[in-house]
Amino acid sequence: MPTTRHFSITVLSIVTLSAAGCRGNDTPPPPPATTASPVSAPATERVVGPLTPADAQALATMNDRLRDYVELHQRIEAALPKLPKDATPEQLDQSQRRFEKKMREARATAKQGDLFTPEATPVIKRLLVSVFEGPDGKQLKSSIMDENTVNASSLKLRVNSRYPDSVPLTSVPPQVLQTLPELAEDLEYRFVGHWMVLFDSHAHIVADYIPDAIPN
């Protein structure tokens, strides 16, 4: 039987989101094999791996979903009334909430797993395990949980709902961001308890989430 080939790839080769990018109709091919890995790669290099061809395809499909989301986000944002250069905090808040409302209306049927697809979610979880079970994993996890004391399930987070104003936007260590697929600037990874949230920072909404993304 042939052995399964594993792939370690830079994120830019399969999952970088580009607002101006055009998507073809063909399924993206698996990325080429490299020798890089999240452990051996330089700190400045974004690496996802190791990945099987099925893993790479799952992330490519997720990338398509995220690109569609970003295109919707930018289309709605561009149609909003322009703010003056000297906009007051009240005007900024009103504009943001107007944007939030428009996004929620446009995604009225959105549900968990629409962006973090069922195929991509286990791949993302394995990538996180590779970080949190690595040499610096215990320290990284402590740095996240020290400023992240909420219980995500008790908050009843929902896709397409407003990110709770009472929950701080905790920082995500560079080692984690290096290993996860890169996002467009409109989207951010955030941890709420052990859950990983896909946060739309402009609309201030939960675009999607993965429960129990941080391993115990």
What's the distance, Cα to Cα, between the start and end of the chain in Å?
A: 35
Q: 10 Å Cβ neighbour count for 56?
A: 22
Least confident of 13-22, 124-133, 169-178: 13-22
Name the residue with tokens 């094999």.
33
Q: 10 Å Cβ neighbour count for 123?
A: 22
Longest dimension (CA), the chain: 67
Contact 193, 81 (CB under 8 A): no
What pLDDT sits at residue 58?
A: 93
Look at residue 174 and tell me whether its pLDDT is greater than 80. Answer: yes
